[in-house]
Chains A and B, each alone.
Chain A
Amino acid sequence: MSTATVATPTMTQTWQTLCSRADLVTRSGVAAWLASADTQVALLYLPGQTPEVYAVDNHDPFSNANVIARGIVGDIQGEPVIASPIYKQHFRLADGVCVEDENVRLRTWEVKIEGDDVMIRA
C-alpha cells in the first residue's frame, strides 16, 4: 500500500484554472485532471461553507483505485470528511488525513472559485 505525501508549496506553484463552477456537484464530488502535476484530484463542493471547495487526491491509497471523488461527503464532529467508496475509510478534507489511520493521508491543494472559474494552486 502506498502512502501519499503532503504537497509542500514551492516557488513554482501558481494559481491555474481547472474547470468551471458548473462542473462541480453540490455537496458531492467530481474528479479533474491536473495536467501540471500529471495527477487527478477530487473536487468537493460545499456551497455556503468556508471554504466552499476542497481539492484532495482522487487516488485512494487503500484500494489503489482513483475513486475518492465518488465518495460521500459528510462531517465527523463538524469536521468535513469524505468516505472512500471502496473500503469506506474517512479522510479529512482540510488536511487529507485518514481518520481511521493517521499515518495515511491524501495530498491537498488550495482551491478557490473566482467568478465561474475553479482555480487550483499547483
Chain B
Amino acid sequence: MNVAVAKKETGRALSDSFAIARDRLPGSGKVAEARSAAFAAFDRVGLPNRRIEDWKYTDLRALLREVLPPAPAPDAAALSRAAEAVRLRAIKGVRRLVLVDGVFAAKLSELGGLEKGLAVRTLRDVLEAGDAALQAQLLAPDNSNPMVALNSAMMTDGVVVEIADGVVLKQPLHVVHVASGTAPTARFTRSLLRLGKAAGATLVESYIAADGARAYQVHDSLLVTIGDHSRLDHVRLVEDSDDAANICSVVVTLGARAHLNTFGMASGAAVSRYQATIAFAGEHSRVETNGVNLLNGRQHADTTMVMDHAVPNCASREVFRAVVDDRAHSVFQGRIIVRPHAQKTDAKMMTRALLLSDEAEADNKPELEIFADDVTCGHGATTGALDESLLFYLRARGLSEKEAQALLIQAFVGEAIESIVSDELRELVVAAARRWLEARQ
C-alpha cells in the first residue's frame, strides 16, 4: 500500500513535468503518440523497486527517490563550462560528438569533413523530420522496462549515426555526454548507430561533468544494429560526478558473421545502472563484452546484461570485474539465453568481485537459460578479498601495502581491459583506472 502512495507522490510531479514538457519535446504524430504510450507504461510501475526481480539489487525508488525535472537547454555559460570539461578529457584522433545537458552541441562537435558513407544527424532532427524507418527503429525498444519507457517518453536529443555498406571508419567516433547545468536536473538522451554490411566502426562514449554540475541524472539509451560481416568496437567510460546518477539502456542486434567487442567501466556516479541486451540475429557472429566497476565511498553500480542467442553457431564471452571499497555496492546480473534451435552456441561468462573493505558489498547473479542441447555454456563467479599470500610475497619484495594492493588490483581488472583492441583506447582506460587507484592512496 505504501508503495502505491510513494509512487503516486513522485509520479505526480513527474506526470506534471511530462505534461509541461510534452509539447516542447521533438516529434509529433506517431512520435508523440509513442511518447504518451511510453509515459503511461512508465507511470504504471514508476521507478522500479526491489520487488521487481530485475531490480532486486538496485532499488531505484530508494536510490533515486525521484526522477528530476528535465534540464533546460544549456546557456552560453553552461556551454563554455562544458567546452572546458571536454577539453580535459579530449582524445586524439577521434571525431567528437558532444551532448550538453541532453542537447547536441554543434559548436563543440566535429561535423566537418565526414568520411564518405558516414551520416550524422541529431535525434531531434530525425524525430522532427519524419524519416519513418529511422523513427520506427528509434521507437522500437521494449517499454516493459520502466527505465526504457521513461527514456522513450522524455528523450530530447542524441546522435543518429549511419555507416553505409562497405565503409570502415578510420576515425573512432567519440560521443561525450557532459552535464553542465548547476541545478539538479535530468537529461534524457537516445542515440542510434547503424552499421551496414561489411562496415566497421569504433564508438567511444564518455559521461563527464563540467565544473559545478551536481546531483544530476543521466537517462540515456543506445540502439545499435551491426550488419552482416560488420564489426563494432565499443568503449564506454562513466566518469560522472560522484553525486550523479547514470541510467543507461542499450540494445544491440548483430547480423550474420558480425562482431562486437564492447568494454565498459564505471568509476564515477553515485548510482549507475547499465542494462544491455545483445541479440544475435544472424549466424556465426561473435561478441566479447567486458566490464569493470571501480567503486568507493557509497557508490552503487549495476551492470545487467542479457546475451540472447536466438540463432545457431554464435559465440559470446563476458568478463566482468568489480573492485569494491568502503561502503560501495557492485551488482552484476548476467543472463545467457540460448533459444530452441540455437545449436552450437558457445557462451561463457565470468564475473569476479574483489572486496577491499568489510562494509563493501558485491552481488552477482549469473544466469543460464538454455533451450538447446548441443551447446557449451558456462559461467563462473567468485567473490573475495585480496589474496594475503600474494600481498605478502609482494611486500617481501619491497612493495608498500598500497603499492602491492594497486598492483594486484590492476592485474585483477587487467583481464577485462586487455580485451580492448586499440592501443590508444586501452591506454585511455588504463589511465582512468590508474586515476581511481591513485585517488585511493
A and B are interacting partners = no
